[in-house]
Copies of this chain bind each other. A is one copy, B any other.
Amino acid sequence: MPKHSQNTTRKRRALPKAERRNQLIKATIKCIAKKGLAATTMADITNEAELSVGIVNLHFKTKELLLIETLRFIADEYKEGFDQIFASNNMQDLEKLKAIIDYDFSPRIINRNKLAVWFAFLGEVKARPIYQKICAQHDDEINHEICKLFSSLLSEKTKRKNDVELITSAYSALTDGLWLDILLSPQRSTVNAARNAAWQYVSGLLD
């Protein structure tokens, strides 16, 4: 009685390595969102993926390595979309900033499942420096881009009164904090309120 029978026994199939890895990573995200990082077992993950328990060993060697790849997946996915916006050359700087804010609260990238995974790993950062490392490089690059954007957008007067680097880190912190709000409050309205709050902060700097 195979678990994944529908009516008739489904045949097991060999898939390309990359596809299996993605399948397992997606199952891991779902499980962490549902049960938390601490309570997620290998059996949970392989059940969710409708595969056998031994498969993780085959594709990731250990649970810890699967977790690391899962975090990397989410970090890369975010960074990729971010880079796309920045690389675009049919947008003015202000449009880019608007696009980033929209992106930061778009459901495909930022939803409660992914935020749950994100914050689950961040919560373990002090104990597992590897998690911090995975986030740090992207973060630095992102902050650098945002800083350049503010530099070109803000008036001389504003820049004389405020430190641009400080504005950048406040902006990043604001975004992180708003994400946390979304994770913590199940209402859908939070996402819109969060986007508005981010935009209010930015527009306050611009005029």
Please list the residues of chain A having a beta carbon within 8 angstroms of any beta carbon in chain B: 33-39, 112, 116, 119-128, 132, 135-136, 162-163, 166-167, 169-170, 172-178, 180-181, 183-184, 193-194, 196-198, 200-201, 204-205
Residues of chain B with a CB closer than 8 A to A204's CB: 162, 204-205
CB A4 to nearest CB in B, in angstroms, measures 25
Give Cα A123–Cα B169 distance, bound, in whole angstroms: 22
Q: A126 to B122, Cβ gap below 8 A?
A: no
Whether B116 pairs with A126 at a CB distance below 8 angstroms is yes
Q: Is the CB of A173 within 8 A of B183?
A: no
Q: Provided the pairs A174-B174, A193-B166 are in contact, do residues A37 and B124 lie with their beta carbons within 8 angstroms?
A: yes
Q: How far is the CA of A123 from the CA of B39 in the complex (A)?
A: 12
Partner of A124, one of B36, B135, B169, B196: B36
Cβ A123 vs Cβ B124 within 8 A: yes
Q: Which of B38, B123, B166, B200 contacts A119 (CB 8 A)?
A: B123
Partner of A125, one of B39, B122, B177, B183: B183
- A119: chain B residues within 8 A (beta carbon): 119, 122-123, 125
Q: Say yes or no: B120 contacts A123, CB within 8 Å.
A: yes
The residues of B that contact A169 with a CB separation of less than 8 Å are 178, 181, 193-194, 197
Provide the residues of chain B in CB contact with A198, threshold 8 Å: 170
Neighbouring B residues of A162 by C-beta, 8 Å = 200, 204
Q: In the complex, how many angstroms separate the beta carbon of A70 from the nearest chain B beta carbon?
A: 14
Give the nearest-CB partner of A205 in chain B.
B204
Chain B residue numbers with a CB within 8 Å of A34 are 126-127
